[in-house]
Amino acid sequence: MRNWKRNTALAMAAVMTASSIFSVSAAAPEVVTDEALYGNLDYYGTMKSMNIVKGVSLNGQTQISDYGDYSEVKNMTSDIAPQISTTGVTFDGLDGKGRFYYQVTPKSLEEKLPWTVDISYKLNGVPAQAENLAGASGMVEIDIHITPVQDTADYLKNNMLLTVATTIDMTKNLSVEAPGAQIQALGGTEAVMFAALPGEEKDFVIRIGSDQFSLDA
C-alpha cells in the first residue's frame, strides 16, 4: 500500500502585513489589510496551488475594491456576494465595523514570491526520490532549503514571513526529529512547523524513523 499522498509533500504558508490596497475616498480613514498566503507544494517544492486569505480593518468603510486577478472569491464573514469583474472584486454594503475576511484564488501562480523552496530526500543517509519512499523502512530525512528571491517586489521581500509546515502520522511512523521547529502533538499526529523572517536563507531538516514510511498531506 502506497501511503505517500500525491498532491502535496508539504504545505507552505507565507504571511504578510500590508497597507491598504483598496479604493477609498481621499478624506476617508484608511482601509488596512493583512494577507495570509497558503500554498501547497509538490514533493520537491514547486507551488501547485495557492489561496490567499485577506483580513480587512474597515474603519467605517462600507465598500472595498481589490484589483487582483482571481478565479474564485469567497466571503468568509457575511452573506454579501462579491462583485467580480475583469478588473478585480468589490464588496458593497458592508457594515463598516471591525474586521472583514475573504479568500481569493489567483488565476496564475506565476507571481514571484520572495523565496524559492527546494526539497530533497535521503533514506538511511542515501539520496532518494520522494516517489520511492512510500512504505520505506529506516530513517527518512527531508531537507528543505529556502532561498530569498532578489528580483521580486521590495514590498514582498521586506514584509512577508514564511512558514513551512507538514503533519506526520505517528500511528504509522516511529519517531520525528526537526531541529529548530515547533512540534505540536495533535492526537496521533505531530505537526512540524518552521519559520523564516523576511530575506532569510535557511535550511530545515525533518528526520522520520519508520518501518513503513508515511507522510500526511
The pLDDT profile of the chain, 217 residues, written as one tens digit per residue, is 233 333 334 554 444 444 444 444 445 567 888 888 888 888 888 888 888 899 999 999 999 999 989 999 999 999 999 999 988 999 999 999 999 999 999 988 776 678 889 999 999 999 999 888 988 999 999 999 999 988 887 877 888 888 888 888 898 889 999 999 999 998 899 999 999 998 899 999 999 999 988 765 4
Same domain, 28 and 70: yes
Same domain, 94 and 119: no
DSSP character string of 70-134: EEEEEESSSSPPPEEETTEEEEES----SEEEEEEEES-S-SPPSEEEEEEEEETTEEE-GGG-T
The parent domain of residue 57 ranges over 10-106
pTM listed for this prediction? 0.80
Inside any domain, residue 140: yes
Same domain, 127 and 64: no
Q: Are strands 10-18 and 160-169 parallel, antiparallel or unpaired?
A: antiparallel
Three-class SS state of 33? strand
Same domain, 39 and 123: no
Q: Which residues contact 101 (CB under 8 A, 6 or more apart)?
A: 53, 54, 55, 56, 76, 77
pLDDT for res 129: 93
Inside any domain, residue 28: yes
pLDDT for res 27: 53
Same domain, 174 and 96: no
Same domain, 134 and 78: no
Inside any domain, residue 217: no
Inside any domain, residue 156: no
CA atoms of 195 and 163, how far apart (whole Å)? 4
Which residue matches cell numbers 488565476?
Answer: 107
Same domain, 62 and 125: no
Listed residue (107, 141, 106, 120) closest to 14, CA to CA: 106
Inside any domain, residue 201: yes
Same domain, 44 and 92: yes
pLDDT for res 178: 96
Same domain, 45 and 20: yes
Inside any domain, residue 159: no
Same domain, 66 and 85: yes
Same domain, 202 and 122: yes
Same domain, 98 and 136: no
pLDDT for res 5: 35
Number of domains in the chain: 2
Inside any domain, residue 2: no
End-to-end C-alpha distance for the chain, whole angstroms: 16
Inside any domain, residue 155: no
- Domain end residue (candidates: 72, 106, 140): 106
pLDDT for res 26: 45
